[in-house]
Structure 1
C-alpha cells in the first residue's frame, strides 16, 4: 500500500476513501472471499435497502472469519468465529466489540424481528465493517512492511558508544 496517505471521507459515502487532496482514492483491499459481500452491502445502501445492507455486512463478517481460518470445524456460529478471531490475536477487544455489534444488527436485518434498520445504522455498519477490513487486510500488511523496512534500516545502523540511545543523540 505505498503512495500517499489515505483518509476516510465523511458520512454518506460509506466505503469511499480520499487522498490528502480530497479526491476519491482506491477502495480498501478486501480479501477475495469478502469482496462480493462487502460490495453488495454498499450497493444495498446506495439504493436505500438498509435492512439488506446490514445483512450483507453480517455476511462480510462471516467471510472474514472463514478467510482468516478461524472457523472452528463444521458450521460454527458467527459469535464463536468472532471469539476465535479475537483469541487468535487477529483483532483486539475493541474490534471484537464492533464485530459483535455488527453481528447483532445483521441478525436484526436477516430475521423478521420487526426492528427497523435506519440509514444511520446501515451507514455505521458499513463504515465499521470497512474499518475492520482495513485493519485486517490493509493496515496489518502496511505495519508488517513498516516493521520489515525499519528492521532492515536498524540492522544497517551501527551501535554507537554506550551513552547513545538513538544514533547520534546522547542518552537522557
Structure 2
C-alpha cells in the first residue's frame, strides 16, 4: 500500500455538497484501506468552513500516488462512475460535474466535450494520415466500427455541438438544463462502452461455456 501522510487538520478548497458554496473543507478524521482486490483508498471526514456540516471524501491510489484531490462521496449527489471506466475519463467527467456543482454550466459543457474526445482517443480513434481528426469524424468512425450504435452516435453529436457552444464565444451561455442533460448523456455513453458492453461480453462467454459443458456431459 502507498505511504499515506495524515491530512487531519488540512483544508481543501471545494464546493460544499450541503450549502453549495465555495469553501475550505477541514479534514477532521481519516481511515484507509484497500488491498489485493481494490486499490488503496483514503476516507476523510471533513467539515465545511461555511455551514460547518460534515461530509465524507475519498481518494484512491491507482499506482501513481495520492494526488491530493479527494472526491465527495457523502452526501451522494451523483453516483460515482464505475472503476471499469478508465481513470483519465473518470477524472474529466468529475471535473464536468464539479463545474456543474459550481453553477459554471458553460464550463461543464466544455468538459463534457473533452470527455467525449477522450473516449474517442481511448477507443483508438485518433488520427488520419498522422493528422488529428475532427471530433465529428472520430465519432463517425466509432459508429462505422460498431462501437456505438445510431442512437449513441446521435447523442454524442449533440454533446459535441453543446461543447462547441460552450467553447466558442457566441453571446449565448449554456443553460443549467442543457448542462445537466449533457452530463447524464456522457455518463450513459461511458457506462455503455466500459461497463455494459464488458458485462454483456462476459455474459455471452459464460453462457457459451455453460452450453459447451452441457454438450460435453451429453457426449459422455
Query: Quick check: TM above 0.5?
Result: yes
Match of 2:192 in 1: 135
- Deviations 1:104-163 (Å, cap 9, x if unpaired)? 00000011012221111111000000000000000011001101111111111139x9xx
Listed as ranges, the matches of 1:1-172 within 5 Å are 13=77, 15-16=78-79, 26-28=80-82, 29-73=84-128, 74-158=131-215
Q: Give, in angstroms, the shift of residue 72 of structure 1.
A: 2.7
**Distance of 1:114 and 1:98 partners within structure 2:** 24
Q: Give, in angstroms, the shift of residue 36 of structure 1.
A: 1.9
**Distance of 1:129 and 1:103 partners within structure 2:** 10
Aligned length in residues = 140
Q: Do 2:81 and 2:90's aligned partners in 1 also have CA atoms closer than 8 Å?
A: no
Gaps of 5+ in 2: 1-76
Point out 4+ residue stretches in structure 1 off by more than 3 angstroms.
none
| TM-score scaled by length of structure 1 | 0.76
**Distance of 1:71 and 1:134 partners within structure 2:** 21
Q: Do 1:33 and 1:67's aligned partners in 2 also have CA atoms closer than 8 Å?
A: no
Q: Relative contact order, CA 8 A, sep 6+: which one is greater?
A: 1
Higher strand share: 2
| TM-score scaled by length of structure 2 | 0.60
**Distance of 1:132 and 1:100 partners within structure 2:** 12
Once the two structures are overlaid, the 10-residue window that deviates more, 101-110 or 112-121, is 112-121
Q: Do 2:93 and 2:115's aligned partners in 1 also have CA atoms closer than 8 Å?
A: yes
Gaps of 5+ in 1: 1-12, 17-25, 162-172
